[in-house]
């Protein structure tokens, strides 16, 4: 097991010989995080599993993505052909 150094006596994460990374926990999956984490600095999944997608316009959203429309604040899916569909 290798550890990442934190500040003071904290240890933010461990990589186990199984190749799994645990942040704040002993991992049961490839990446196992206790608490919130960010992907790309925008998408957030909290400890309860709730996802907060990026706010974007349809024109700027990437294909095969979920986003919150910057005009009407609704959740959309943009498909591989570029079509955007409101999910609620």
Q: What is the mean pLDDT of residues 15-25?
A: 81
- Answer yes or no: do 50 and 25 share one domain: no
The domain of 5 spans 1-34
Strand blocks (E) in the chain: 2-4, 13-15, 21-23, 31-33, 37-39, 43-45, 51-52, 55-56, 65-69, 75-78, 84-86
Distance CA 19, CA 1 (A): 9
- Say if residue 54 is in the same domain as residue 75: yes
Residue among 69, 63, 65, 60 at smallest CA distance from 88: 69
For residues 39 and 76, membership in a common domain is answered with: yes
Average pLDDT over residues 26-53: 79
pLDDT band per the 50, 70, 90 thresholds, residue 38 = low
Based on the domain organization, do 58 and 71 belong to the same domain?
Answer: yes
How many domains are contained in the chain? 2
Greater pLDDT, 12 or 73: 73
Cβ atoms of 70 and 55 within 8 Å: the answer is: yes
């Amino acid at each position: 097991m290798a550890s990442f150094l934190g500040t003071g006596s904290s240890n933010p994460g461990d990589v186990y010989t199984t190749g799994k990374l645990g942040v704040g926990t002993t991992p049961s999956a490839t990446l196992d995080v206790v608490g919130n984490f960010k992907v790309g600095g925008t998408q957030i999944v909290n400890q309860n599993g709730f996802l907060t997608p990026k706010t974007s316009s349809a024109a700027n959203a990437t294909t095969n993505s979920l986003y919150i429309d910057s005009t009407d604040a609704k959740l959309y899916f943009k498909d591989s052909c570029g079509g955007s569909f409101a999910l609620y």
